[in-house]
Amino acid sequence: MSRFTLPRDVYHGKGALEALKTFEGKRAIICTGGGSMKRGGFLQKVEAYLKEAGMEVELFEGIESDPSVETVMKGAEAMSKFQPDWIVAIGGGSPIDAAKAMWIKYEYPDTTFEDMCKVFGLPKLRTKAKFCAISSTSGTATEVTAFSIITDYQKGIKFPIADFEITPDVAIVDPELAHTMPKKLVAHTGMDAMTHAVEAYVSTANCDYTDPLAIHAIEMIMDNLVKSYNEDMDARDAMHNAQCLAGMAFSNALLGIVHSMAHKTGAVFADLGAHIIHGAANAMYLPKVVAFNAKDPTAKKRYGVIADYMHLGGSNDDEKVKLLIDYLRKMNDDLNIPHCIAHYGADGLPAEQGFVPENVFLERLHDIAANAILDACTGSNPRQPSQEEMEKLLKCCYYDTEVDF
């Protein structure tokens, strides 16, 4: 038996934010990040609409990018005090993911972070509150997914919490929120969405329900991401929907080792002063993983189908895989994303000398590879890598060398 779960309601299109006026409840807590939503005037609108719906409203602000376990615990405490029956999270993937984890702790105060990370092991939520997610970036699709990514900074590792219990009740996909994104954020989150769609399509858990969503998302991202990056706002609107469709696909078909590697490299060099931003990590690793996975005959065929939908040409699957890899790399060039960790600057842009020195990378390689294999996203990858293969793959992602194994 398979399960396909989405939020009960997805309000989309310009003005979708106004759906908040129709919510029923007594108290709503709004969870948000560092200030971009306030600067854009969206936070004020959310607050006003919820008040118009007759609710008492409290704010939990300042959720950082790549949110920590500590932030989750703090937010849950605020919820315990306020006793909301609606949790409304607005912003990028970070504040929404943090709010999802806060929700678990709010409903079950004795739950530890370790408990939360047991894959598909959460108790029933919604005994205290329902959850609405409003996305302001066009990538993670956390507004429709069963995932939340929280970073344990003591271990330097991102842990995915995965359970349909945390699939939001309501998603609001209003493209106006995405208009204020700076170009680099458009690039990174857009390639995150592309990775979601491609990984979902070749995942071992793909099915007839997820395939059309993944393929249509890929076509839309191909047509719109670079245009959106170059400030075409109609394309930006289309990307907000495309990333959501990709999310509907991967929330049910799961992901693969591009994400395992991104989760385990994202914060592991934080002591050197920077993160490898999630979307940029995916963008760099995806072409390498396509080459690695294409050694699996089923995955190769599926990459061939993707290439066909993208009209890339090629007369056999080997040629199609090569054309797909070339296309993804060209997207990175068009979006000013580096091809490998060695050239990944502290600001996320291509640099002659990246912020992760070779010796530090090699010192940490064994552990990063071991942790990536253990990541919750590895299980549904079409090819299961050994420790040695994962280390080799990560080296290709560091040096931008060809994957021939």
Ligand X SMILES: NC(=O)c1ccc[n+]([C@@H]2O[C@H](COP(=O)([O-])OP(=O)(O)OC[C@H]3O[C@@H](n4cnc5c(N)ncnc54)[C@H](O)[C@@H]3O)[C@@H](O)[C@H]2O)c1
Nearer to Zn ion, 250 or 269 (CB): 250
Nearer to ligand X, 47 or 317 (CB): 47
Interatomic CA distance for residues 354 and 348, integer angstroms: 9
The answer to whether residue 66 forms part of the interface with Zn ion (CB under 5 A) is no
The minimum distance between CB 192 and Zn ion, in angstroms, equals: 4
Residue 94: which of Zn ion, ligand X, none does it interact with, CB under 5 to 8 A by kind?
ligand X
The minimum distance between CB 189 and Zn ion, in angstroms, equals: 9
The answer to whether residue 97 forms part of the interface with Zn ion (CB under 5 A) is no
Q: How many other β-carbons are positioned within 10 Å of the β-carbon of residue 169?
A: 16
The minimum distance between CB 56 and ligand X, in angstroms, equals: 26
Nearer to ligand X, 157 or 325 (CB): 157
Stretch that binds ligand X, among 75-83, 185-193, 238-246, 396-404 (CB under 6 A): 185-193
The answer to whether residue 199 forms part of the interface with Zn ion (CB under 5 A) is no
Interatomic CA distance for residues 391 and 383, integer angstroms: 15
Site for ligand X in 85-104 (CB under 6 A): 91-94, 97
What are residue 141's phi and psi, to 5 degrees? 60, 25
Stretch that binds Zn ion, among 27-35, 97-105, 192-200, 311-319 (CB under 5 A): 192-200
The minimum distance between CB 40 and ligand X, in angstroms, equals: 6
Query: Which of 22, 27, 62 shows the shortest CA–CA distance to 170?
Result: 22
Cα 343 to Cα 113, 160, 350, 358, distances in angstroms: 34, 27, 6, 11
The minimum distance between CB 316 and ligand X, in angstroms, equals: 33
Nearer to ligand X, 247 or 385 (CB): 247
Q: What is the dihedral of CA 131, 133, 139, 141, to 10 degrees?
A: 40
DSSP state of 342: G
Interatomic CA distance for residues 214 and 306, integer angstroms: 9
Give the tokens for residue 361: 């990378």
The answer to whether residue 252 forms part of the interface with ligand X (CB under 6 A) is no
Residue 283: which of Zn ion, ligand X, none does it interact with, CB under 5 to 8 A by kind?
none
Nearest residue to ligand X, by Cβ distance, number only: 92
Interatomic CA distance for residues 147 and 196, integer angstroms: 12
Q: Which of 116, 181, 220, 254 binds ligand X (CB under 6 A)?
A: 181
Under a CB-based contact definition with an 8 Å cutoff, are residues 17 and 30 in contact?
Answer: no
Query: Which of 118, 213, 208 shows the shortest CA–CA distance to 166?
Result: 118
Nearer to Zn ion, 174 or 192 (CB): 192
Under a CB-based contact definition with an 8 Å cutoff, are residues 174 and 20 in contact?
Answer: no
Backbone dihedral region of 314: left (phi > 0), alpha (psi from -120 to 50 degrees) or beta?
left
Q: Which of 7, 31, 66, 382 binds ligand X (CB under 6 A)?
A: 66
Work out the end-to-end distance of the chain between its first and last CA atoms, rounded to an integer number of angstroms.
34
Query: Which of 358, 344, 360 shows the shortest CA–CA distance to 269?
Result: 360
Number of residues in contact with ligand X, rule: CB under 6 A?
Answer: 29
Residue 236: which of ligand X, Zn ion, none does it interact with, CB under 5 to 8 A by kind?
none
Which stretches of the chain bind ligand X, using CB under 6 A? Answer: 33-34, 36, 65-66, 91-94, 97, 136-137, 139-140, 142, 145, 147-149, 158, 177-178, 180-181, 185, 189, 192, 278-279
The residue ranges that bind Zn ion (CB under 5 A) are: 192
